A = this chain, B = another copy of it.
């Protein structure tokens, strides 16, 4: 009766005539209706209130023919249950950044039900309202550790790197407790109705391949292994990770997210013909003329060379013009014949 939706078919390796498509941070500041809702409620209130988080999740789907929804939240939200206090202005600020071994060892491993329970509630609220699959997500342990130690966004997260080299055992414990917490948190999201999960490793590119293998990979594997019995597709997205691709490729995931820096055809050559790739238009392209945006979208579809979920190569930027998003979606949905024409334009 209900055929499997294109997004889930692509997740498990089906190469479709036109790739399904969603947009990282598709519910966000570039949408006037999001800004209108945010003018009434602050960011944390929206995250913590299932009716508001569900409303924001649905906003882009009313406007655009997208193939998946992703629950509105932030990667930092589950850390509150570990004993971390967080503000947003607009990026995350950790009130007391972790700077000592004692700080790390004071973190709690919370019960699943205590970890941002409003996210599972939002998922349960959303599912009956959705015509497309719903994606749950969490931050990868390295990226969460980067914010916890640095305290906020940074160009180089040097505090995190200092801690990693000076206190490698404690850094390893930090990534482990984060991984165990994220495994519980994602499991709760799937139990509530999430039909796929994505891990965001936004700061993967801060580490050399040696440190990534030593610290980040075991933590990633712990989460992904915990997801295996749940039977939902797993997506792993690492940013700025060209040098880490040989390891990231080995992760047990159905879908490999690719950031804008790496040509999709190169990743395809490395991973072989069957793995699903997700990505990877640079979100900054959406500020070019609409026909240029369309041509770039078409080029990426042509470059995928196998199972593909179209997406940006990172989160959509707050000032993105809505018309550019329309042009992109139209180009991706036109299918290969028209796309070829656009690609030659």
Q: Is A35 an interface residue (CB 8 A)?
A: no
* Binary flags per residue of A277-313, CB closer than 8 Å to B gives 1, else 0: 0000011110111001000000000000000000000
By the criterion CB–CB under 8 Å, are A205 and B205 in contact?
yes
Chain B nearest Cβ from A217, distance in angstroms: 16
By the criterion CB–CB under 8 Å, are A165 and B261 in contact?
no
By the criterion CB–CB under 8 Å, are A156 and B314 in contact?
yes
Q: Is A164 an interface residue (CB 8 A)?
A: yes
By the criterion CB–CB under 8 Å, are B207 and A165 in contact?
no
Q: What are the residues of chain B within 8 A of A210 when measuring CB–CB?
A: 263
Q: What are the residues of chain B within 8 A of A205 when measuring CB–CB?
A: 205, 240, 261
Chain A 140-167 interface residues, beta-carbon cutoff 8 Å to B:
153-156, 158, 161-162, 164-166
Chain A 253-288 interface residues, beta-carbon cutoff 8 Å to B:
260-263, 282-285, 287-288
Which residue in chain B gives the minimum CB-CB distance to A283?
Answer: B158
By the criterion CB–CB under 8 Å, are A165 and B288 in contact?
yes
By the criterion CB–CB under 8 Å, are A282 and B243 in contact?
no
* Binary flags per residue of A82-97, CB closer than 8 Å to B gives 1, else 0: 0000000000000000
Instruction: Show 29 A/B contacts (Cβ-Cβ < 8 Å), sorted by A.
Output: A153-B155, A154-B155, A156-B314, A158-B317, A161-B282, A161-B284, A162-B284, A162-B317, A165-B285, A165-B287, A165-B288, A165-B292, A166-B287, A166-B289, A166-B292, A205-B205, A205-B240, A205-B261, A207-B261, A208-B262, A208-B263, A208-B282, A209-B261, A210-B263, A240-B240, A242-B242, A243-B243, A243-B261, A243-B262
